[in-house]
Amino acid sequence: MATHRNVGMFGLIASALIVLQVPLYFLYDGAPPDANILTRSLIGVVGCTFYIVFFTGLRSWIVQHQPALDWPAGVMQLAGLAWAVVVFVPQSMEVGAAITTSRDIDTTTEGPYAPAQYLLQGGVSRLLMAAFLLAFAVVISRSDLLPRWVGRSAVVLAIANLAFLPAVYFGDDAANFYSAQGWGTTATMGLVWSLWTLVVSIAMVRGRAAVRPGSRSVLAGR
């Protein structure tokens, strides 16, 4: 199987897992049972592990065909890996709080570790996603590796992520769309990101590698 299809498969699996995880945060009006927290956290960390492979493979594929783009590809990979690590931390905090607390609590807003998650799941994640997306957009604009809509949509999504940075000034009510821990800042942007990587991964899996005379390999049949 071609490299881009292998990489795309890892991205597809990673994205699908995170898309599956997000609705689990909204199944209960009050505090969810521990089983819900443990399940969604495990799905999240497994999904991010697949993302790590996706980010690494994506950079390798880009540099293989476009060595001159090593710098933006490196920024893209590092931002993606840092984002994955940032996700691991609050997921671990949620699981720890659920296990050590005798009653059911909403681990996103309650417990000893909840406040430490706000910036990680909000502003820090938004910045790292924006860095990945802008670096990816640069790669697409300077190559024919993926369709142009990938680069344009990456810029739009990066701007949307950056627009949520000031949310830190609007409290921590998770019920508010625009707050440090709001459902727009965290869950919505995470879901949109996962759907975007899902579509891009599908494009990679369905793409057909071709070599243009006198140029590098690209995805044809788009």
pLDDT of 179-207, one tens digit each? 998 999 999 999 999 999 999 999 999 87
Cα separation, 1 vs 10, in Å, equals 13
CB 201: neighbour CB atoms within 10 A? 24
CB 162: neighbour CB atoms within 10 A? 17
Q: What is the domain partition of the chain in residue ranges?
A: 3-209
- Look at residue 89 in the predicted model and tell me its pLDDT: 94
Distances in whole angstroms, Cα of residue 51 to Cα of each of 43, 113, 136:
12, 25, 15
Lowest average pLDDT, out of 7-11, 65-69, 208-212, goes to 208-212
Q: Nearest Cα to 44, choosing from 117, 105, 110?
A: 117
pTM here? Answer: 0.89
Q: What's the distance, Cα to Cα, between the start and end of the chain in Å?
A: 18
Q: Long-range contacts of range 37-44, CB-CB < 8 Å, 24 or more positions apart? A: 37/94, 37/95, 37/98, 37/107, 38/95, 38/98, 41/91, 41/92, 41/94, 41/95, 43/17, 43/18, 44/17, 44/18, 44/87, 44/91
Residue with tokens 């709001």: 182
The DSSP output letter for 146 is S
Whole-number percent of the chain with pLDDT over 70: 93
Q: Tell me: the pLDDT tens digits for 7-56?
A: 999 999 999 999 999 999 999 888 999 999 999 999 999 999 999 999 99
Cα separation, 217 vs 1, in Å, equals 15
Give me the chain's average pLDDT, please.
90
- Look at residue 209 in the predicted model and tell me its pLDDT: 46
